[in-house]
């Protein structure tokens, strides 16, 4: 089913989504609404993503395509009715009729790639171009749901442009036969389900990039641009004194900056005892430093208690992480490479990670910590090999000219479904 108790245990199965027509349907006028910093060249983004997927497969990871899960869910009468009942009432009658009659695959495409407005969707603004706007962020499967242990926590997205992603995740986990048995640990929107959510503004916002599963006993949750304090409080109440769940929730209050949209943009574990970190937020005591709090989920009082630096706080609970500096030692490179996801690595196993190749300062710092840096292209073409059973420390770098412009790295692009325990 699902099982995740760390960020670095050997990855067996992962949820992802190849950037589809939804990224081809972006125009500059829609970028702010759709939370992108640029429009992408879709064909090149798909080439880069396909190479990433192939790297996963070569290492024995099973990729699960979210679009396939969604289409299969929408082929089920109960899944289709659940989603269609949540469609906005202002949809045109002809479009609603098309959706009612569409196959699961076609309906999934409408809900993700979007539907152009009447008369070809002429105009400049989003509402002029589309009757149903596209979801270009859907390639970032980290955010709509969080696997913790053998259960799932659903996201409540901060921006209106991503609310539909949260609904699609719920539909898949509620109705798809492979996911329906997974226990729901927490749903921030449960009070609103059954109402129109496409334009709703939920008070509590929680996104998966802000949740880091560090051990069976410890999770870290970022309070960020995308995840707010009410959501963290709700999550703590749902997990409190729950059997098989972590004992400690470490709250990391990030500066409210676009660059630090999620916790995983400033820290990701890369080995049993190491993490990529962005020093100004994680290691410094300066104005950009994160504030750290601790919640004992076994206590009656779930109020966050202020603590010292993040890595010191984690070490007290048995998560001892050596910092590896995003961007290396140069403060200028640190800032540039944090922006291009240098602190956002995906661990395939302890010490085996995937990172964007453009983060040269970060890969040089990884090499100083004993990592062998391998090109994904060389790996796929057989010019390099990795022993999956005894790989050592390896960083596989993937091309990212287009993917990195979407503002999310390999960690953002994936959501682990099954990892081996450490």
Active site positions, annotated: 412
In Å, how far are 22, 147, 201, 215, 256 from 343, measured between CA atoms? 26, 21, 30, 19, 17
Q: What is the rounded distance in angstroms from the CA atom of residue 352 to the CA atom of residue 158?
A: 32
Matching residue, tokens 């202002």:
90
Q: 280 phi and psi, to 5 degrees?
A: -60, -30
């Amino acid at each position: 089913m699902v099982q995740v108790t760390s960020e670095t245990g050997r990855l067996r199965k992962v949820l992802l989504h190849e950037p589809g027509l939804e990224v081809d349907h972006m125009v500059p006028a829609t970028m702010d609404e759709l939370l992108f910093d640029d429009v992408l060249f879709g064909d090149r983004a798909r080439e880069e993503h396909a190479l990433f997927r192939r790297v996963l497969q070569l290492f024995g990871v099973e990729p699960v395509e979210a679009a396939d899960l969604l289409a299969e869910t929408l082929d089920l009468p109960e899944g289709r009715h659940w989603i269609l009942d949540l469609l906005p009432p202002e949809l045109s009658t002809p479009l609603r009729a098309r959706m009612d009659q569409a196959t699961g695959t076609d309906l999934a495409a409408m809900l993700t790639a979007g539907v152009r407005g009447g008369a070809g969707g002429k105009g400049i603004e989003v509402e002029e171009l589309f009757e149903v706007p596209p979801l270009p962020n859907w390639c970032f499967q980290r955010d709509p749901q969080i696997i913790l242990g053998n259960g799932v926590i659903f996201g409540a997205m901060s921006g209106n442009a991503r609310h539909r992603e949260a609904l699609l995740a719920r539909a898949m986990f509620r109705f798809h036969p492979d996911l329906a048995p997974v226990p729901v640990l927490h749903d921030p929107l449960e009070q609103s389900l059954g109402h129109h959510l496409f334009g709703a503004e939920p008070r509590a916002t929680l996104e998966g990039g802000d949740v880091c599963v560090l051990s069976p006993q410890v999770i870290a949750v970022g309070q960020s641009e995308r995840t707010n304090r009410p959501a963290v409080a709700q999550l703590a109440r749902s997990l409190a004194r729950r059997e098989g769940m972590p004992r400690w929730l470490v709250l990391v209050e990030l500066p409210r900056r676009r660059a630090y949209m999620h916790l995983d943009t400033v820290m990701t574990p890369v080995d049993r005892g190491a993490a990529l970190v962005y020093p100004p937020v994680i290691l410094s005591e300066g104005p950009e430093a994160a504030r750290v709090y601790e919640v004992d989920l076994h206590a009656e009082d779930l109020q966050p208690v202020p603590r010292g630096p993040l890595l010191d706080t984690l070490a007290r609970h048995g998560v001892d992480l050596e910092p590896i500096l995003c961007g290396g030692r140069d403060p200028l490179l640190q800032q540039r490479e944090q922006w291009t996801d240098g602190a956002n690595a995906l661990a395939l196993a302890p010490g085996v990670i995937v990172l964007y190749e453009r983060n040269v300062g970060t890969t040089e710092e990884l090499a100083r910590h004993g990592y062998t840096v391998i090109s994904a292209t060389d790996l796929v073409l057989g010019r390099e090999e990795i022993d999956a059973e005894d790989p050592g420390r390896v960083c596989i770098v993937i091309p990212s000219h287009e993917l990195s412009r979407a503002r999310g790295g390999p960690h953002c692009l994936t959501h682990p479904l099954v990892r081996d325990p450490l």
